[in-house]
A = this chain, B = another copy of it.
Amino acid sequence: MISIVLPDDELRHRLGARLGDARVQVWAPNSSDPLIGPIDLLVLPYMIAPRELRHLRGLPISMVQSQTLGYDGVSETLPSGIRYCNATDVHEGSTAELTVGLILAAQRGIPDAVRDADRGVWEHRRHPGLADKRVVLVGVGGVGAEIRRRIAPFGAHLDLVARTPRAGVHGVDRLPELLSHADIVIIAVPLTDDTRRFIDSRFLAAMRDGALLVNVSRGEIVDTEALVGELQEARLRAALDVTDPEPLPADHPLWRLPGVLITPHAGGDTDAMDARVDGLILEQVRRLRAGEAPLNLVYDAAG
């Protein structure tokens, strides 16, 4: 019989009888309740800071399953002896969905329409669209691939960029030229030591006047101070689902600069997420029972 820890009653209720004869406890890393081990699979809360993984130290846990795609910071905080699986295929689609939503909203003037509506003002202005625009997508992993699929029917010219050039994908060495022509630049790379502050003042300076920077990955990939500088001069626009820091403090300049649209790190969190999380957990349980290797094992501190 396998032993599972779920982070909340809602998830236990959703999974219910589908967990079969597994022994299920509800417990989260910030809980002071005792945990009855050994634990084969502990599912983390959706919103958990990597530093909270330190609470797992010394507990009899074989493997944790996160509900997020990104796992920056995990390698520093995950106690040894525990394997870590991320939530690949759970959030890519909804993050890509929000990416297209942010682009269309920013291009078509929806933020101004919302503000006008609150004042009862009908003011028709011409806006740019997405059709015919030049779009540079930096990052062609899971999220990037989903963004690419959803943008395809809109009639934009899409240039893909990754670290290593290959068929249909430019290398980062081509960025200076691509950025100088791009109307929209989308950041969809994971946060690593290589990508931290990758969008620096030089990258931003290479973007053409009026271009839109879209970040749906991690705030730390952008040099926020440099971005604020460009936005204060209204030279660039930005649509950001992620910021540095998060949450953004009430007095942060990003909130009120012109041409900025911010959503509160909502990329992966829609009601489409639940069924995908449930499916992933049930598949991991099936694999544990069958003695098969887990899905999405991205960090093996047991090794």
Report A's interface with B, CB cutoff 8 A. 47, 93-94, 97-98, 100-102, 104-105, 107-111, 113-132, 149-150, 152-155, 246-252, 255-256, 260-266, 269-272, 275
- A129 to B97 CA separation, bound complex (whole angstroms): 8
Is B263's CB under 8 angstroms from A120's CB?
A: no
Is A270's CB under 8 angstroms from B105's CB?
A: no
Q: Which listed residue, B119, B132, B247, touches A275 by the CB 8 Å rule?
A: B132
Nearest-Cβ distance from residue A294 to partner chain B, whole angstroms: 25
Contacts of A255 in B (CB 8 A): 117-118, 120
- A120 to B132 CA separation, bound complex (whole angstroms): 34
Contacts of A128 in B (CB 8 A): 270-271
- A128 to B121 CA separation, bound complex (whole angstroms): 28
**A263 and B97 contact, Cβ closer than 8 Å, known pairs A120-B255, A255-B120:** no
Contacts of A155 in B (CB 8 A): 93, 272
Is B114's CB under 8 angstroms from A114's CB?
A: yes
Is A120's CB under 8 angstroms from B270's CB?
A: no
**A109 and B263 contact, Cβ closer than 8 Å, known pairs A131-B94, A248-B122, A270-B129:** yes
Contacts of A270 in B (CB 8 A): 107-108, 126-129, 131
Most buried by B among A153, A249, A262: A153
Contacts of A264 in B (CB 8 A): 113, 116, 122-124
- A120 to B266 CA separation, bound complex (whole angstroms): 16
Nearest-Cβ distance from residue A299 to partner chain B, whole angstroms: 25
Is B269's CB under 8 angstroms from A113's CB?
A: no
A-B contact pairs, 17 of them (CB 8 A): A47-B124, A94-B129, A97-B131, A101-B104, A105-B110, A108-B263, A108-B266, A109-B266, A110-B114, A114-B115, A120-B249, A127-B269, A127-B270, A129-B270, A149-B153, A150-B154, A155-B272
